[in-house]
């Protein structure tokens, strides 16, 4: 989801991106919370220029929304957007999995195995932010293997949007990374079983969708400094 953040120059801008990213994915910053440039700059001891660059990068990764003349806010996907994103994934990703099962090579399988191992390691260490990023990356890796440029672009966009939705609205601790589903996909890919891969991916996306709690929630009472103080 946040691969674009890692293309930023090193230094304070990257540090702020990663800190705010972690705070959002760990539910320490509530959806819709205003990210004041002055306050963020004071918290991290940097100029507004550095803060603005970090917020622009986070907006590019769909974690932050920048509104003209109003500033930056933690993204707050609507209920309709959440449903539509997962409906689109349920239509597109099963077809992508079928293509990948037909095209996959031993080298591709090794790449997916390594990716899945990293995902499990992140879960075991309790790093849910990293696990969520890796989980989304597993899906985009499948799209890369399918080698369908239009589908790949669509999957990348949908994963970026849905990863935030999962982070904000998941009602199950295991929803961010359904390791059994990913493992079942690996088995289907190893057997070049396109039909099984398609069905497993469809069931997986439907399960992710059903694991969301899209009801309106009370606002987090923490101030921005309190919330970011937990992540700095």
Domain holding 220: CATH number?
Answer: 1.10.10.10
Look at residue 32 in the predicted model and tell me its pLDDT.
87
For residue 25, the model assigns a pLDDT of 72
Domain check: are 147 and 34 in the same one? no
51 and 143 part of one domain: no
Q: Is 174 helix (H, G, I), strand (E, B) or coil?
A: coil
The per-residue pLDDT for 41 is 93
Q: Are residues 59 and 95 in the same domain?
A: no
Please indicate, yes or no, whether residues 180 and 85 belong to a single structural domain of this protein: yes
99 plus 151 within the same structural domain: yes
CA-to-CA distance for 87 and 99, rounded, in angstroms? Answer: 19
Q: Give the per-residue pLDDT at 50.
A: 93
pLDDT for the residue 222: 65
Q: Are residues 29 and 118 in the same domain?
A: no
Query: Each residue's pLDDT tens digit in the chain (232 positions)?
Result: 444 444 444 588 989 988 888 788 777 788 889 999 999 999 999 999 999 999 999 998 778 999 999 999 998 888 889 999 999 999 999 999 999 999 999 999 999 999 999 988 988 888 877 788 788 889 999 999 999 999 999 998 888 788 778 877 777 555 545 568 999 999 999 999 999 999 999 999 999 998 888 776 555 556 787 777 655 4
| CA-closest candidate to residue 92, choices 156, 29, 35 | 156
b or e along 159-181 (b: 16 or more beta carbons within 10 Å of the residue's beta carbon)?
bbbbbbbbbbbbeeeebbbbeeb
And the tokens for 94?
A: 């099963």
96 and 43 fall within a common domain: no
pTM above 0.85, yes or no: no
CA atoms within 13 A on the CB side of 64: 30
Whole-angstrom distance, CA of residue 232 vs CA of residue 224? 12
Residues 112 and 127 in one domain: yes
Q: At what angle do helices 149-169 and 79-103 cross, to 10 degrees?
A: 130
**What pLDDT, on a 0 to 100 scale, did the predictor assign at position 225?**
78
Q: Which H or E element spans position 34?
A: strand 34-35
Residues 119, 187, single domain; the answer is yes
Quote the tokens at residue 58.
């986070």
**Same domain, yes or no, for 158 and 43?**
no
| Residue 197, domain extent | 79-210
> If you count DSSP H runs as helices and E runs as strands, how many of each does the chain have, helices first?
10, 3
* pLDDT value of position 227: 74
Q: Do 71 and 98 lie in a common domain?
A: no
Residue 27 and residue 119 share a domain: no
């Amino acid at each position: 989801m946040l691969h674009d953040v890692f293309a930023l120059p090193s230094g304070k801008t990257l540090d702020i991106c990663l800190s705010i990213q972690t705070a959002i994915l760990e539910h320490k910053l509530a959806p819709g919370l205003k990210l004041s440039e002055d306050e963020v700059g004071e918290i991290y001891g940097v100029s507004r220029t550095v803060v603005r660059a970090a917020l622009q990068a986070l907006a590019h990764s769909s974690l932050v929304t920048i509104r003209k003349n109003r500033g930056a806010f933690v993204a707050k996907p609507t209920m309709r957007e959440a449903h539509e994103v997962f409906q689109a994934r349920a239509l597109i990703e099963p077809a992508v999995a079928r293509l990948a099962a037909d095209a996959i090579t031993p080298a591709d399988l090794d790449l997916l195995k390594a990716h899945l191992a990293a995902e499990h390691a992140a879960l075991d260490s309790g790093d849910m932010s990293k696990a969520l990023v890796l989980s989304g990356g597993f899906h985009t890796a499948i799209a890369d293997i399918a080698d369908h440029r239009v589908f790949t672009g669509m999957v990348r966009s949908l994963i970026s949007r849905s990863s935030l939705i999962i982070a904000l609205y998941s009602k199950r601790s295991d929803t961010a990374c359904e390791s059994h589903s990913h493992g079942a996909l690996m088995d289907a890919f190893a057997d070049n079983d396109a039909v099984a891969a398609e069905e497993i991916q469809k069931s997986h996306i439907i399960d992710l969708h059903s694991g969301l709690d899209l009801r309106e929630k009370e606002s987090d009472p923490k101030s921005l400094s309190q919330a970011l103080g937990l992540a700095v």
